[in-house]
Amino acid sequence: MKAVLAYSGGLDTSVILKLMQERLGAEVVTVTVDVGQKDDFKAVEEKAYKFGAVKHYHIDAKDEFADKYVSQAIKANALYEKAYPLATALSRPLIAEKLVEVAKKEGADVIAHGCTGKGNDQVRFNLGIHSLSPDTEILQPVMEWELSRDWEMEYAKRKGIPVSDKIYSIDENIWGRSIEGGILEDPMAEPPEEIFEWTVSPSLAPDEPDYITVDFENGVPTALNGEPSKLLDIILELNEKAGKHGVGRIDHIEDRTVGIKSREIYEAPAALTLIKAHYDLEKLILTKWVLEFKELVDSKWSWLVYTGLWFEPLREALDAFINEVEGNINGTVKVKLWKGNAIVVGRESENALYSKELATYEKFSTFDQKLAKGFIDLFGLQSVLAHNLKTVPKVSNLEGAKILAKKVS
């Protein structure tokens, strides 16, 4: 039996790598997909071979992740439950695709991963793999073989697999870092400072703000401070720049797809800054009707991605709507990074619906104020009538209608 294993080099996947050989006699091909996690990939590869991989694939998918997944998330202002920028969720369908590619190339009919049965990642991986390759069997050893952490530690010691005494469960890629477990499982406990790696505490952030500008084309960032760059580089630079000002910490009570409520801490400096800037530019450019409707689309899109339904036709249909609308989102946004905040302080676009001539309180305004009166009467017609019927003594429906008709005419 030949199997492909999604391999991070951590305790779970190293134990699984060994166990699959022992229990199933499997030839295991390991795959590590680089989506921007700050790992020592050379060490991961060495570990894979040391514990018996017949072949190891290291796939650098950072640009693909930025250009195909994160760019779409920016266009969708994607925040699950208004809070989580979906870093892990976005990476899973891409990793699933890479696993399937390697499985095809290697003639493997099984794909294994180290997810438990309690999280979201199993849903995302499994639905991704099933969608792309219905004949591939999925092996989920931590769940199927009921591997507990204690048992794994003991087994690892016996097999010479290095174990660390890490308290937290961490996942990271270019779009963010998630921290779960330990004291964080008490939702009342404030996150200890030591869990943060990408952001400084806002109270220790510089007193002086930094100002940045982001240029958008078709809804996607194309330049930082006027300097054209590919999306990946803009994200990496902003993670540094905004993280330095304490921007990007999120403390979120989250509804997992499998029903559990969990307490999640995230660091996502670039994600929060770019989504904020992007949404602000949309408000300058889009009609209020499109904005109102797009909010529904954005939240549904985020839900689909979170719950692992990336390959669902509805996601593609929503993307078609989003891409149509985003064709107009060109312009520049100015953001102030300061003491834990990314504050939009300016925006401009050739497509702006904002018009100073209309909006100004100065005399030169082109807005015809007299039109407002009739508009207001019609706009509030039913609401005023309903309120009058309830509160003004002896106004009948008929009388009320007459009074209003007179007013309006």
What contacts 398, CB < 8 A, 6 or more positions away?
A: none
* Count of residues making up the chain: 409
Q: Report, in Å, the least distance between residue 405 CB and ligand ARG.
A: 57
- Residue 124 or 245 having the CB closest to ligand ARG: 124
Measured CA to CA, the distance from residue 223 to residue 290 in angstroms comes to: 26
**In the bound complex, what is the minimum distance in angstroms from residue 83's beta carbon to ligand ARG?**
11
Q: Of residues 8, 71, 91, 92, which has the active-site annotation?
A: 92
Q: Is position 172 an interface residue for ligand ARG (rule: CB under 6 A)? A: no
Catalytic (active site) residue 92: yes
- The least CB distance from residue 85 to ligand ARG, in Å, is 10
Options 88, 122, 136, 140; binder of ligand ARG; rule CB under 6 A? 88
Pairing status of strand 227-228 against strand 220-224: antiparallel
Shortest CB 344 distance to ligand ARG, Å = 26
Closest approach of ligand ARG to the CB of residue 396, in Å: 58
Interatomic CA distance for residues 279 and 259, integer angstroms: 30
Return phi, psi of residue 33, to 5°.
-105, 120
Which one of the listed residues 14, 71, 121, 349 is annotated catalytic?
121
Q: Is 17 exposed, middle or buried (0-12, 13-18, 19+ CB in 10 A)?
A: buried
CA dist 302 and 322 (Å) reads: 12
284 vs 351: CA distance, rounded Å: 8
In the complex with ligand ARG, the residue whose CB is nearer, 88 or 273, is 88
254 interacts with ligand ARG by CB under 6 A? yes
The residue within the footprint of ligand ARG, chosen from 121, 267, 280, 282 (CB under 6 A), is 121
Min. distance of Cβ 95 from ligand ARG in angstroms? 11
Which residue has tokens 């991704």?
Answer: 128
Q: Which is nearer to ligand ARG, 170 or 343 (CB)?
A: 170
Alpha helix (H) residue ranges in 112-175: 121-132, 141-144, 149-159
Please give the backbone phi and psi of residue 66, each rounded to the nearest 5 degrees, phi first. Answer: -65, -50
Between 184 and 231, whose beta carbon lies closer to ligand ARG? 184
How far is residue 300's CA from residue 161's CA, in Å, rounded to a whole number?
A: 43
* Residue 122 binds to ligand ARG (criterion: CB under 6 A): no
Question: Based on CB atoms, which residue is closest to ligand ARG, 88 or 349?
Answer: 88
Active site residue 63: no
Residue closer to ligand ARG (CB basis): 120 or 302: 120
Residues binding ligand ARG: what is the number (CB under 6 A)?
Answer: 11
Among all chains, which residue has been given the structure tokens 């991986």? 125
Among 131, 169, 262, 365, the active-site one is: 169
**Where do the DSSP E strands lie in 225-330?**
227-228, 249-255, 261-267
Name the DSSP class of 230.
-
Q: Is 249 a catalytic residue?
A: no
Q: Is 152 in the site for ligand ARG (CB under 6 A)?
A: no
Q: Which long-range contacts (CB under 8 A, 24 or more apart) does 153-162 make?
A: 153/11, 155/15, 155/18, 155/19, 156/11, 156/14, 156/15, 159/15, 159/18, 159/51, 161/11, 161/14, 161/15, 161/18, 161/51
Regarding 264 and contact with ligand ARG (CB under 6 A), the answer is yes
Residues 178-197 that bind ligand ARG (CB under 6 A): 178, 180
Query: Of residues 19, 89, 174, 309, which one binds ligand ARG by CB under 6 A?
Result: 89
Task: Name the residue among 123, 154, 134, 170 with its Cα closest to residue 305.
Answer: 123
Q: Is residue 267 a contact residue for ligand ARG (CB under 6 A)?
A: no
How far is CA 250 from its chain centroid? 12
Q: Does 169 bind ligand ARG (CB under 6 A)?
A: yes
Q: Rounded to the nearest whole angstrom, what is the least distance from the CB of residue 346 to ligand ARG in the complex?
A: 33
What residues line the site for ligand ARG (CB under 6 A)?
Answer: 88-89, 119-121, 169, 171, 178, 180, 254, 264
Question: Active-site residue numbers?
Answer: 12, 92, 121, 169
